[in-house]
Structure 1
Amino acid sequence: MISRPPDNPAERPSPADRLKKQRAASLVLYIGLVLLALWVVRDFIAVVAWAGVVAIALWPLLRKVEGNRWFTGRTTLIAALLTLVIALLVVLPVGIGIAQALREAHDLNDWFKGARETGIALPDFIERLPFGAQQISAWWQANLAQPLRDSAAMKGLHSTTAMMLGRRFGARALHAVMVFVFMLVTLFVIFQAGPRLSGSLIKAVRRGFGDDGADLMQRMAAAVRGTVSGLVVVGLGEGALLGVAYFVTGLPHVALLGFVTAIAAMLPFCAPITFGLAALWLLAQGSVAAAVGLVLFGSVVVFVAEHFVRPVLIGNSTRLPFLLVLFGILGGAETFGLLGIFIGPALMTVLMVLWTDLVR
């Protein structure tokens, strides 16, 4: 029988080493579980992110409402009211736009049938162009003035193609509705948690990353809040001013055009697309002076809003230079989509804080 050599006490792991290994193993386990949980809810991360952006933007309002003596202790009621307001602010304009589009669908269908049977008539303003009128007229007569039923574009719009496009649009619309509903549910839960949730987050960040981490998180929240204010407030202002211009120039459906312009103006440098198309419509109707006036007025509004008002609103709250704000918005939109418009400036805030800590 082979005898077992006696244990060497020097080779036994000390309690401190054993504790370090246990902590390392626990850390690996926790990271793995967190990654697994994120993978399970991966389809809802964007929903939570959108709810977080809206909650951060409305957090000062939530605190003010909670401080009112009529709502003291009624967290569920406050959360329900704020969530309902957000839902109405989205549903009502979209519903009005859909109703307006349905009313115009009949006229659009008649125009489409007329284009198939008789072609598209040459607009009068083309003949009055100072240059290129003859070439444009010749191309128009050869390609658009003739019946379009036999054109390649019309042949491609057969019933099967229309059904496929309709299904894709319906699927995307249904997905957007589901995302919006889940976002509202998440937003209600965040509002209901209220200060308890924010206090827990700050406490956890301070415990894990110290006071600097907590300060950085608050500055990132301020960056998101400032971006929302800068984009939404300026967008609504541009939409209102250009809506007045649409009314003065005699454009139809002023309210719908103003709403579309406001939505487009929330994205940097997108408002010119809407009032540019409106100016083209006026030009097609022969209202050259109104079209030129709309373009000039819209350009002034966009220039002032994009170069002065919006950078001040976003930059003051985030303490970021205008260039970093612009790069954060555009780069975030390109990387993360629409949600990146709000995430980008927050990440630029992190970059600015790291740079400040490095050079001081």
Structure 2
Amino acid sequence: MTQPKKRFDLARLMFGILFILVMIVVCLWVVRPFILGFAWAGMVVIATWPLLLRVQKYTGGRRTPAVIFMTLLLVVVFVLPFGLVINSIVDNSGQLVDWVGKPENWHIPKLAWLNDIPGVGRRLYRNWQAMTADNGKALVASVQPYAGAATTWFVSQVAHVGGFMLHGTLMVVFSALLYAKGEAVAKGIRHFALRLAEKRGEAAVILGAQAIRAVALGVVVTALTQALLGGIGLAISGIPYATLLTVLMFICCLAQIGPSLILFPAVFWLYWSGDNTWGTVLLVWSCVVVSMDNFLRPALIRLGADLPLLLILSGVIGGLLAFGMIGLFIGPVVLAVSYRLISAWIDEVPEPTDELPDLERDLNI
């Protein structure tokens, strides 16, 4: 006896999918204030997990002391620098206001040394004199269109400081929780990936973790090393506000701009102020610091994952432009996983031979 064919219930399927979509949207809406902090915590924990295991080994295999140590380390690395910057701004704000309020400080330099530049020096000097004529009215007129936009941008960035501090606090809290239960969370993510795409899903998750570690080692560690060494050079050379400039240098290194945007103007300032000895010392030190990323970053990226250097750097720069600071990790992860999945899909067929095919025969022309 044949069984009657089961009828396909399209309405039930559509309502089921709609219910799942509504539940996903509502869940994302509920956890929306915590997503950025949790994402940062996940990136930090994945990148520093080997360090946690090493600390746990030194604490007799106990997880709690290792978690406390790593949490305090995160506070020192992420919270303390911004606290120092804010403290430096507050301490020096009075001096800055007094300096701005004195009319004698507002004079336009003559820049007579421009004449000594071979080739273009005289032309630059004439243009500068033309712009600064009549107490700099032409210079003010050329800068004024950009002043409003720059002020608006600065105010908008200051408005995000409170949100940034909130996400930083959530990052530290979530990082402590992930340090304590990291194995269980990793197993759950791998289980979900297996259910979603079987072995390839699990491989994509593992590759994503390797890409995060490669960025942390190759980009963040390199930026931190360059910023610290550059900051030491600024402090020893007597450059004012060395702490603030070091943090700005670290941000420039993360954005792949490099420390030269901070170091070389400092060298120029030393020469301009007449301190040629320390200017030369800082110039040599700056050349060493700027060239470090040429050999340090590729070596560290290779330790994290065997991925093309151009892929990682493209992901870092593109991620920063697309998603902000969190894109520093999102960009390389997306490109690395996509690169490996496409490579695996291409490798399912054999490579073409060196002999060119006969187009008329293959196409039946």
TM-score, shorter chain, exceeding 0.5:
yes
Q: Distance in 2 between matches of 1:146 and 1:268?
A: 40
1:57–1:228 Cα contact (<8 Å) kept: yes
Using structure 1 for the length normalisation, give the TM-score: 0.77
TM-aligned CA deviation for residue 53 of structure 1: 0.8
**Is 1:277 paired with 2:238?**
no
The equivalent residue for 2:173 is 185
One-letter code aligned to 1:314: I
Amino acid of the residue matched to residue 207 of structure 1? R
Tell me if the contact between 1:57 and 1:224 (Cα under 8 Å) persists in the aligned partners.
yes
Other-structure match for 1:36: 26
Q: 1:73 to 1:278 in 2, by over 3 A?
A: closer
Asked whether the equivalents of residues 119 and 146 of structure 1 are also in contact (C-alpha less than 8 Å), the reply is no
How far is 1:310 from its partner?
Answer: 0.8
Q: Is the Cα contact below 8 Å between 1:236 and 1:262 reproduced in 2?
A: yes
| Superposed counterparts of 1:152-231, under 5 Å | 168=156, 170-231=158-219
Distance in structure 1 (CA, Å) of the matches to 2:77 and 2:211: 23
Q: Secondary structure at the residue paired with 2:102?
A: helix
Answer whether contact 2:112 2:125 (CA < 8 A) is retained.
Answer: no
CA distance in structure 1 between the partners assigned to 2:309 and 2:90 by the alignment: 42
- Partner residue, 1:322: 309
SS of the counterpart of 2:202?
helix
Aligned pairs for 1:74-153 (under 5 A) are: 74=64, 78-115=66-103, 119-122=107-110, 125-126=113-114, 128-130=116-118
Identical positions, percent: 25
C-alpha deviation, 1:217, in angstroms: 0.5
Alignment-derived partner of residue 341 in structure 2: 354
Q: Distance in 1 between matches of 2:235 and 2:123?
A: 34
Partner SS, residue 224 of structure 1: helix
Query: Are the equivalent residues in 1 in contact too, given 2:99–2:105 (CA < 8 A)?
Result: no
Pair 147,334 (structure 1): closer, same or farther in 2 beyond 3 Å:
same
TM-score, length basis structure 2: 0.76
Distance in 2, matches of 1:115 and 1:165, equals 27
User: CA contact under 8 A between 1:264 and 1:270: conserved in structure 2?
Assistant: yes
Structure 1 counterpart of 2:324 = 337
Which deviates more, 287-296 or 266-275? 287-296
Aligned equivalent of 2:223: 235
Question: Which among 2, 6, 11 is matched to residue 13 of structure 1?
Answer: 6
CA distance in structure 2 between the partners assigned to 1:315 and 1:352 by the alignment? 16
Aligned pairs, how many? 344
Higher alpha-carbon deviation: 83-92 or 322-331: 83-92
What CA RMSD, in Å, does the superposition of the two structures yield over aligned residues?
Answer: 4.0
- CA offsets, 1:25-67, max 9 Å, x none? 5455334311332244334322221111111112222334445
Worse-matched range after superposition: 26-35 or 114-123: 114-123
Structure 2: runs of 5 or more not aligned? 348-365
Tell me by how many angstroms 1:316 deviates.
4.0
Task: Give SS of 1:41's match.
Answer: helix
Read off the aligned partner of 1:209 and give its amino acid letter: A
TM superposition shift of 1:187: 2.2
Q: Is the 8 A contact 2:235 2:242 kept in 1?
A: yes
Alignment deviations for residues 110-158 of structure 1 (CA, whole Å, 9 cap, x no partner): 33223577523435744654566666556656655876799968xx8xx
Q: Which stretch has the larger CA shift, 187-196 or 171-180?
A: 187-196
Aligned-partner Cα distance in 2 for 1:114–1:150:
22
For the 8 Å contact 1:116–1:148, the answer to whether it is kept is no
Relative distance call for 1:82 and 1:22 in structure 2 (3 A) is: farther
Out of 278, 290, 305, the position equivalent to 1:302 is 290
**1:196-217 alpha-carbon deviations (Å, 9 max, x no partner):** 2122222222233222211220
Supply the distance in 2 between the matched residues of 1:67 and 1:21 (Cα, whole angstroms): 57
Q: Is the 8 A contact 1:229 1:314 kept in 2?
A: yes
Give the letter aligned to residue 312 of structure 2: V
Displacement, 1:223? 0.7
Q: Equivalences for 1:43-58 in 2 at 5 Å?
A: 43-58=33-48
Report what 1:72 is aligned to.
Answer: 62
Seen in structure 2, the aligned counterparts of structure 1 residues 117 and 83 have a Cα distance that, compared at 3 Å, is closer
> Is the Cα contact below 8 Å between 1:328 and 1:341 reproduced in 2?
yes
- Distance in 2 (CA, whole Å) between partners of 1:73 and 1:242 is 36
Alpha carbons 1:118, 1:148 under 8 Å: kept:
no
Structure 1 residue ranges without an equivalent (≥5): 1-8
For 1:269-293, what per-residue CA distance to the aligned partner results, in whole angstroms no more than 9, with x for missing partners? 3322111221232232134675566
Instruction: Confirm or deny: 8 A CA contact 1:333 1:341 kept in the other structure.
Output: yes
